[in-house]
Amino acid sequence: MTSQQVTPTSGTWGSASRSGRRNWFTGGFFYVLYQGAQLVDEFKADSSTSHVVVALSVTIIYGVSYILLPYFSFGWSLPRKLVVLGWLFGCAAVNQAVSENRGAQFAYLYAMVVAAMQLPSRWSLPLNGGVLALVLIAHPEPFSENWWTLALVVTSVTLMTTVMGKQIRTRIELQHANEEIARLAVAEERSRVARDLHDVLGHSLTTITVKAGLARRLLETGADQSRALAEIADIERLTRQVTSEVRATVSGYREASLAAELAGARVALGSAGIQADMPHAVDNVPEKVQPVFAYVLREGVTNVLRHSGAKNCTVTFGPSFLEVSDDGKGPVKASDGHGLEGLRERLSGIKGSLLAGPRPEGGFRIRAEVPA
């Protein structure tokens, strides 16, 4: 299984949302259509050539700014977006000042739409409400039909785009959340496979190594040919078992058994010439704890076989604990290798803890505890 690095993007529609930018670019041309009608009214009015040129220039600048600036600023930071909005509101004010068309008062609407789409509601609503209030206060004909039309149109469109912007932001956040969940799922699956393979291969290969060494010594001395053949047959069985366990681990179907690990530990320790003192049944351990304790037992016995040089190994467990101890030299201190770290991850899933370190009387121990 592979993972793709997901980097969340900022902005209202997300700077990586090509479809969002394209939709904005397409929708912006509706402004051009409305402003085109406004320019026709300017030419029909009895205005001087210079006034028409100024009105035409201001309208074109505002139109181009309305289309392009939000297109590029979707992923910008909040301060930079506020600069863009300041420019757009300034263009709208100049457009209204130089235009002789009464419909030019609606030019503020486009800047307010950008504010509603790109800013959070707690920013856009006060900003647009303040701008609308100023426009209505400065209206030359208060409470006239045009005044009420301006108030209703601008208010309704601003509220509609605010809701739309919030929905788009929610959709983008949900998309980022889904991508992050997918990335974490891949990482968790990789961690599980690595942890399980370490546990499976570490113990099984150590047991195979011990048995192969015993069989070699028996064959070299010629002391017990039948036992040597039995050890070789057992090695063959273990290799098949490891192959099956690796397949099950990769497929995610493998579940450790405390009883099976207990029996396997007894055989592995006996093959290594280590006296094993351990219970014969696991009835006193709750079923939901047994799989985790099985991994603890496997890792503890593997460490005894590999590192301890011990003569005796003791395994004790109860409803809320499992301990593996030996009388060998062991490491000077516990090492947070893959094995112990994997056990801590497994135990954390059931709110358990792991202690590993030298014993005061000598030797080494690993103790796992879970809430009673």
Question: Are 98 and 51 in contact, with CB atoms under 8 Å apart?
Answer: yes
Q: Which fold has domain 191-369?
A: Heat Shock Protein 90 (3.30.565)
Q: Between these two residues, 361 and 161, which has the higher pLDDT value?
A: 361
Give the Cα separation of 230 and 176 in Å (integer): 58
Judged against a pLDDT cut of 90, whether residue 59 lies above it is answered with no
Rounded to an integer, the average pLDDT of 91-114 is 73
The proportion of the chain whose per-residue pLDDT surpasses 70, expressed as a percent, equals 77
pLDDT at 235: 83
Rounded to an integer, the average pLDDT of 241-259 is 71
pLDDT at 137: 78
pLDDT at 14: 42
Q: Between these two residues, 195 and 321, which has the higher pLDDT value?
A: 321
**Dihedral angle, C-alpha 245, 249, 254, 259, nearest 10 °:** 50
Judged against a pLDDT cut of 60, whether residue 253 lies above it is answered with no
Show me where the domains of the chain are located: 18-181, 191-369
- How do residues 6-44 score in pLDDT, each as one tens digit? 333 334 444 445 555 666 666 666 666 666 666 666 565
pLDDT-based confidence at residue 316 (cuts at 50, 70, 90): very high
Judged against a pLDDT cut of 80, whether residue 346 lies above it is answered with yes
Judged against a pLDDT cut of 50, whether residue 178 lies above it is answered with yes
Q: What angle do CA 165, 171, 176 make, to 5 degrees?
A: 125
Round the average pLDDT of the chain to a whole number and report it.
Answer: 76
pLDDT-based confidence at residue 277 (cuts at 50, 70, 90): very high
Judged against a pLDDT cut of 80, whether residue 281 lies above it is answered with yes
pLDDT at 175: 75
Q: Which region among 190-204, 341-355, 358-372 has the lowest average model confidence (pLDDT)?
A: 190-204
Question: Are 298 and 199 in contact, with CB atoms under 8 Å apart?
Answer: yes
Winning range, highest mean pLDDT, from 28-32, 56-60, 96-100: 56-60
pLDDT-based confidence at residue 158 (cuts at 50, 70, 90): confident
Rounded to an integer, the average pLDDT of 200-207 is 74
- Burial code of 325-349, b = ≥16 C-beta within 10 A, e = fewer? bbbbebeeebeeeebbebbeebbee
- How do residues 222-237 score in pLDDT, each as one tens digit? 777 788 888 888 888 8
